[in-house]
Amino acid sequence: MTTLRLPGLVDAHVHLREPGYEHKEDFYTGTVAALAGGVTTVLDMPNTQPPTATPALLREKARLAAAKAVCDVGLFVGATNDRADAYLPAAQHACGLKIYVSDTFGSLRIDSLDLLHRLFRTWAGKADAVGYRMDGREQGLGPIAVHAEELMLPVCLNLSHLYDVPLHVVHVSRRSEIELIRTAKERGYRVTCEVTPHHLFLTTEDAARLGPLGDMRPRLATPDDQAALWENLDVIDLFATDHAPHTLAEKAALETPPPGVPGLETMLPLLITAMVEGRLTEDDIVARCAHNPRRVYGLPAQPDTWVDVVVEDQPVPWSNERMKTRVGWSPFAGMPLHGRVERVTLRGEVVYEDGRVLAAPGSGRVLFGAANPAA
Ligand code: DOR
Ligand code: ZN
């Protein structure tokens, strides 16, 4: 048994569900789950109810996060079909603009080229106005983050290239997609991407066993798609969970269960397991879970912040019992894993130790001045 000390991790893709779906998660339970997973910064998605599509809604969400969070939180803004530009005055207080152009949960899907074109054009204009300053940015915009599967991927790549806007492609899951992103990077496109643990560690072969607990968007892909993600590790900038909790009752009872799985607590144990198996190095993990997300989103540094993780000699089956997420389940239940988060230190304070949260609600920070916007 050894213990590793890693920098506090960033999960750049979570759905903490507040406001509107607090029965699934809220800023307290979600950030507690983050600490339990060694994550000290989360970036929260805008597909809440109501969606984070106006400055007032961003401010309100920031107020909720500031009162409850136990780790640092950045907030995305989103655009809806009928309120396309409403988010704009708050753009620099968000970690980025999230655009959905593929099948998803919630009402944020953009369904016309006219609107999609306008979103890229407008973000580019706003970025020019405030200036890009991505390194620990004080002012400036984050990237456009897109959920763009299959044929929507080249559409978004081209719009980003035409307007010279940095594009971040979330949860890439297919061989065709990762290979296209490789080509775009080789041609100098300003594109980065992330892959989820569930697409790295599960495939269509697990889907039947898991039923609705293995249903998410993008869906689990084929073993060949999964192999392509591992083969193209150098193209993957970030690992991010797409932590998307829904209750077991919702997953079981509805005719069409909502897609999404929790992931904050299992990411590091899974990655450590891949490290023990020789498929990843410690540096691979630290780059993709700490340094790269900070660079891609221009996140401020967290001084004196680290996670102590135990690397078990013998793998231990993952147990839902220990989970902090409000929904209390995982598609990885029973999987033998080697990593266990022992202790998390945030800005010099021990905030999590041996399964107990020591941080007070509201001790986490809301990033980019979203809680107290200057303008
Ligand atoms: O599986 C998913 N769940 N994919 C998404 O794009 C949204 C997410 C959610 O919010 O539940
Ligand atoms: Zn998501």
Pocket test for ligand 1, best of 13, 14, 15 (most atoms within 8 A of CB): 15
Which ligand has the shortest distance to the CA of 17? 1
CA dist 50 and 56 (Å) reads: 11
Domain 9-263+285-300 CATH class label:
alpha beta
Tell me the β-bridge partners of 195. 239
Q: Are strands 144-147 and 167-169 parallel, antiparallel or unpaired?
A: parallel
Nearest to 39 by CA among 263, 216, 334, 320: 263
Q: Do the beta carbons of residue 115 and residue 94 sit within 8 Å?
A: no
Which ligand has the shortest distance to the CA of 170? 2
Atom of ligand 1 lying closest to residue 261 CA: 1
Q: Do the beta carbons of residue 39 and residue 264 sit within 8 Å?
A: yes
For ligand 1, say whether the CB of 241 is within 6 Å of any of its atoms: no
120 Cβ contact list (under 8 Å, min separation 6) = 144, 159, 160, 162, 163, 165
| Per-residue pLDDT, 130 | 77
For ligand 1, say whether the CB of 47 is within 6 Å of any of its atoms: yes
Query: What are the structure tokens assigned to 116, written together?
Result: 């999609």
Centre of ligand 1 from the C-alpha of residue 202, in Å = 17
For ligand 1, say whether the CB of 147 is within 6 Å of any of its atoms: yes
| Per-residue pLDDT, 105 | 80
Query: What are the structure tokens assigned to 282, written together?
Result: 């410690």
- Low-confidence residues of the chain: pLDDT under 70: 131-136, 138, 254, 374-375
Which ligand has the shortest distance to the CA of 43? 2
Give pLDDT tens digits for 267-299: 999 999 999 999 999 999 999 999 999 999 999
Q: Do the beta carbons of residue 19 and residue 50 sit within 8 Å?
A: yes
Residue 336 preceded by cis peptide, ω within 30: no
| Per-residue pLDDT, 135 | 65
For ligand 1, say whether the CB of 216 is within 6 Å of any of its atoms: yes
Nearest to 167 by CA among 282, 296, 312, 284: 296
Which ligand has the shortest distance to the CA of 14? 2
| Per-residue pLDDT, 187 | 98
Q: What pTM does this model have?
A: 0.97
For ligand 1, say whether the CB of 239 is within 6 Å of any of its atoms: no
Q: Do the beta carbons of residue 144 and residue 99 sit within 8 Å?
A: yes
| Per-residue pLDDT, 19 | 98
| Per-residue pLDDT, 374 | 65
Atom of ligand 1 lying closest to residue 246 CA: 11
Q: Are strands 72-78 and 96-100 parallel, antiparallel or unpaired?
A: parallel
For ligand 1, say whether the CB of 48 is within 6 Å of any of its atoms: no
Protein residue whose Cα sits closest to atom 4 of ligand 1:
217
Nearest to 123 by CA among 189, 168, 170: 168
* Percent over 90 (pLDDT), the chain: 88
For ligand 1, say whether the CB of 198 is within 6 Å of any of its atoms: no
